[in-house]
Structure 1
Amino acid sequence: MSEQKLALVTGASRGIGRAIAERLVQEGFRVVGTATSDSGAAAVRMALQALGAEHDALVLNIADPVQTEAALKDFLTRFGTPYVVVNNAGITRDNLFLRMNDAEWDDVINTNLSGVFRVCKAMVKPMLKQKDGAIINISSIIGTTGNAGQANYAAAKAGLEGFTRSLAQEIASRNITVNCVAPGFIQTDMTDILPETQKEAILATIPGKRFGQPEEIAGAVAFLAGNNARYITGQTIHVNGGMNMG
């Protein structure tokens, strides 16, 4: 890369987000990762600056409209306009629908869908002036297939994919792409704690007969962030070992 471009990666403290941030560093980007706490941001900063002093981190809670607006204004002032925005931050509040309460529904929709809206709202205008860039939203196979106990999460991720297609249509003429990457079951600390019987049941549904690795999601993100994907927009790339082939 002749000129180092800037990338913002939300939810970069662990798992898929950490892998994405580190892969974008490898691809030559200057990366700023986010976490929801001071200690989390400090850990992200330490990990990224071990790869290069130019990288950084900040505190960002996309569920909080006021904090998000202030944090992203600070980001633009300190670092400038990003070329790549990766919306990875998200939460789960799983429960069977008949037991799911308003807070469990609202928390997931507010973070996983409205939070992405807030980040894009802050970043799209300067990116339009830049007339170049890529927005990559991390969805989930659950947004396509649904999953018992995750009506809130499935609704948020399905909504995220619809949001992605609509935003892509609005800003494609300014040379800005908007796409999703939808992971299947990826080996992270969240899957590591599952009982062996549950892991075996999940693996039985995956033609690839293994969980994915965070680095495989990061690879798809790196592709969408690169020059070879400039004519791809409004798409969802599924990375799930064949679990869903729709």
Structure 2
Amino acid sequence: MDKDTKYALVTGASGDIGREIAIALAKEGFHLYLHYYRNEQAIQLLREELLSFHVDVIPIQADFTNSDMITRLQESIFQLDVFVHAAGNSYYGLFQDTPDQELKNLWDIHVHFPMQLLQKWIPKLQQSESGRIIFISSIWGEVGAAMEVAYSAVKGAQIAFCKALAQEIALSGTTVNVVSPGMVDTKMNHLFDEEEKTAILADIPMHRFAKPSEVGDVVVFLASDRASYITGQTMRLNGGWFMR
């Protein structure tokens, strides 16, 4: 392992938040594995942009609802210093009307698949002098949301998983943390109509949504040596919407 060269894997790199995380890490000199599911065009455009930072950029396609891809993905990674799980989807609707397949997909994408990957990759991260595991969760994983019950459940599971894993591997120096955004100005949140957005903004003390780049800034801090003594924490990025 090259101690002077750091590699980060960003899942969901074709999404708005994943893209900004990748850009922020590339600016800091991280070489990147960029996971995506369907949007190959977005990944290729991002790759071209990231090459200007003189870093290696390796796209990796995988369907996080297909268990057959776990081994292939596990074996596609060699050196790994930072794992960022930003992949995700949501489902909006009454819980009792949520199809079983949606429940399974949410669990696989947000919890099951990354847990299985980390079972294989934790030894790689522990070989690094600055191993980092970072999950992008959500304010709904902390407080819950009507009409997004299953999504809230898997986001809460991410937080619980990271707290427990942080304790288990702390002695190795590998840290495990969560970034918990409130409302972020992403395509995924465009499902809300203007009336709903206005109502949400009225509850946010800063009266604006977060920018995807602001999530990237927090991830870069947690991935840095400055955060070497921070583990098992949930870093809230919500404009004062939820405080505890």
Q: TM class by shorter-chain length?
A: over 0.9
- Residue 39 of structure 1 corresponds to 40
Kindly provide the CA deviation profile for residues 66-102 of structure 1, in whole angstroms up to 9, marking residues without a partner as x. Answer: 21320230222xxxx2111101111112221121221
Alpha-carbon offset, residue 14 of structure 1: 2.5
Q: Report the TM-score, using the length of structure 2 for normalisation.
A: 0.92
Query: What is the CA distance between 1:50 and its match in structure 2?
Result: 4.3
SS at match of 2:76: helix
**Aligned-pair distance for 1:10?**
0.5
TM-aligned CA distance change 1:166 to 1:177, over 3 Å? same
Match for 1:162 among 160, 163, 167? 160
Q: CA deviation at 1:111?
A: 1.2
Structure-2 change in CA distance of 1:48 and 1:122 (3 Å): farther
TM-superposed CA distance for 1:33, in Å, is 1.1
**What CA RMSD, in Å, does the superposition of the two structures yield over aligned residues?**
1.8
Which segments of 5 or more consecutive residues in structure 2 lack a partner in the other structure? none
Change over 3 Å in CA distance of 1:191–1:130 after alignment to 2: closer
1:38/1:59 contact within 8 Å kept: no
> Which residue number in structure 1 is paired with residue 105 of structure 2?
107
Q: Which moved more, 1:160-169 or 1:188-197?
A: 188-197
Which residue of 1 is the match for residue 23 of structure 2?
A: 22
Q: Give identity over the alignment, percent.
A: 34
Q: Is the Cα–Cα contact under 8 Å of residues 33 and 44 in structure 1 kept in the other structure? A: no
Q: Counterparts in 2 of 1:183-198, with a 5 A limit?
A: 183-192=181-190, 194-198=192-196
Q: Secondary structure at the match of 1:106?
A: helix
Q: CA deviation at 1:173?
A: 0.7
Q: Which blocks of at least 5 consecutive residues in structure 1 are unaligned?
A: none
Does residue 65 in structure 1 map to residue 42 in structure 2?
no
Deviating runs (4+, > 4 A) in structure 1?
none
CA deviation map 1:10-59 (0-9, x unaligned): 10012110000000011121122110137254344334334435222111
> Match for 2:56 among 50, 54, 57?
54
What is the aligned length? 241
TM-score normalized by the length of structure 1? 0.91
AA partner of residue 143 (structure 2): T
SS of the residue corresponding to residue 178 of structure 1 reads strand
SS in structure 1 opposite 2:158?
helix
Return the match for 2:197 from 185, 196, 199. Answer: 199
SS in structure 2 of the partner of residue 204 of structure 1: helix
Contact 1:83-1:127 at 8 Å conserved across structures? yes
Residue aligning to 2:135? 137
Q: In structure 1, what residue type is equivalent to 2:115?
A: F
